[in-house]
Structure 1
Amino acid sequence: MPVPLHSPGMLLVYVVKRIVRLRIVDLTRPLSPETRVYPGDPPVRIEAIADIEKDGYYNRLLHVHEHVGTHVDAPAHMIQGGATIDMLEPARLVAPAVVMDLSNACGPVTSREIIAALRLRRLPLPQNGWYLLLRIGGGCRSISIDAAEWMVRMKLAGLGVDAASPDGPPYNVHRVLLSSNMLIIENLNIPSMLDGEIVTIVVAPLLVKGGSGAPARVYALLDGGRLGKWLRGEQV
């Protein structure tokens, strides 16, 4: 539907209606000393450095590394000479995304499984700058090399998972994706109710100069999708 630009009043009404319809789901896990970290990585430490009663203000010192909590892996994380987190174009961080829950099985997620799951949910193939968000759990699931190569062929902007990592040593999935300039978002909090949704993902990593990655706030925006219809009591 074209935006009615011929009248400032009509444009304002259009924008307000869009905002009212919008549903925002926070996909970020909170940072705390209890935050899950990848095996071998240092835990989060937080110490108070100012108190309101004593200093007149409240402040704390965070001890975190670049890949803790919900975070983004930049290509430089595993690719020599790859883009660092501060080199990412903002336009790459806001894009359509397909969300699927594949946590009810074990073993590596294959491209065949992804395609079958998309068809089952009547979802389009994510491609050309889209993101794929997969709920795989923190246990027996991972992403296969085959699936990673398929994502590269589809020219995805990035892969997001709710696990600490899409794969383990020697991190070949990481290398396949990052060498193709894709982003990897790890430790997302993906609610099961988003299964089968098409959303707009907003990824906001800290702008760390020269960073191999950074903690990020990540949102899913829903406007008129299946979940939006359900929330409004319409036929899904």
Structure 2
Amino acid sequence: MKVIDLTHTISENMPVYPGTEKPKLEVASTYEKDGFKETLLIMFSHTGTHMDSPSHLFSQRTTLDSFNAEQFVGKGIVVDCSNLKEGQKITMKYIEAVKEKADIAQYILFYTGWDKYWGTDAYFGNYPYITEEVAEYLIKSKKKGVGIDVIGIDPIKDENLTIHKKLFAETDIVVIENLTSLDKVGNDIFTFCALPIKFKDSDGAPVRAIAILED
């Protein structure tokens, strides 16, 4: 068994969505004074590699803490979209190229290679994003979730969050954003785990996302 970490590390100088405050990691207890170390974490719920729930956009929809834990584990497939250039769309042709595996998978993860810009201003530029047709496929095929290695599944300029709304309006699906290292997973079905912090009425939460590959 091989485990691949798909998660960015949370730090005070990490990239955050434009307009959001960066996280704070304050030393609350020290070895010298208290005999142990403890850290006070202050951050927004959509910091770093994180998961969105339907309640992120709709007040009466499902929160992360109300999902069964089974929701956060499933068969995954990485769809290679790394040939796309700035602002280009992830269309159904990428799904069609791996259709048999995509239909089996419960999580579809799109590899754009955009994580190479993590820590630079370019990360918040015109990254590739999924189309409404792809969103419709995710809904109709009843996927547990969709993930991507950019800041969002909608283009940065779409303040209406069209794709998010299409997915979350009536479907209990989760969205994982800011993934990394998807290029290390390969193109076979694997076990995907993305476990969010469990807090009350959670609209979203940081996750530790991993890929488990069988030998």
Which TM-score bucket, shorter chain as reference?
Answer: 0.7 to 0.9
Distance 2:200 2:191 in 1: 26
Aligned-residue CA RMSD (Å): 1.6
The percentage of aligned residue pairs carrying the same residue is 29
- Work out the number of aligned pairs and report it: 198
Contact 1:103 1:141 in 2 (8 A): no
Deviation of 1:147 after TM superposition, in Å, equals: 1.1
Distance 1:125 1:60 in 2: 41
Q: Which residue of 2 aligns with 1:111?
A: 92
Distance 1:78 1:90 in 2: 21
The alignment status of 1:147 with 2:134, answered yes or no, reads yes
Query: What pairs with 1:1-236 in structure 2 (closer than 5 Å)?
Result: 22-106=1-85, 107-116=88-97, 118=98, 124-127=101-104, 130-136=106-112, 137=114, 138=123, 139-167=126-154, 168-179=158-169, 180-224=171-215
Distance 1:98 1:181 in 2: 19
Contact 2:74 2:107 in 1 (8 A): yes
Residue identity in the other structure for 1:108: K
Aligned with 1:39: secondary structure? coil
Aligned with 1:124: secondary structure? helix
Deviation of 1:197 after TM superposition, in Å, equals: 2.6
Contact 1:100 1:197 in 2 (8 A): no
Residue identity in the other structure for 1:212: D
Note the alpha carbon deviations across 1:104-123, whole angstroms, 9 max, x for none: 2131111133213x16xxx5
Q: Return 5+ residue gaps in structure 2 as ranges.
A: 115-122
Contact 1:99 1:199 in 2 (8 A): no
Distance 1:199 1:169 in 2: 34
Distance 1:42 1:146 in 2: 33
Q: Return 5+ residue gaps in structure 1 as ranges.
A: 1-21, 225-236
Note the alpha carbon deviations across 1:112-145, whole angstroms, 9 max, x for none: 33213x16xxx52335x70001112245311111
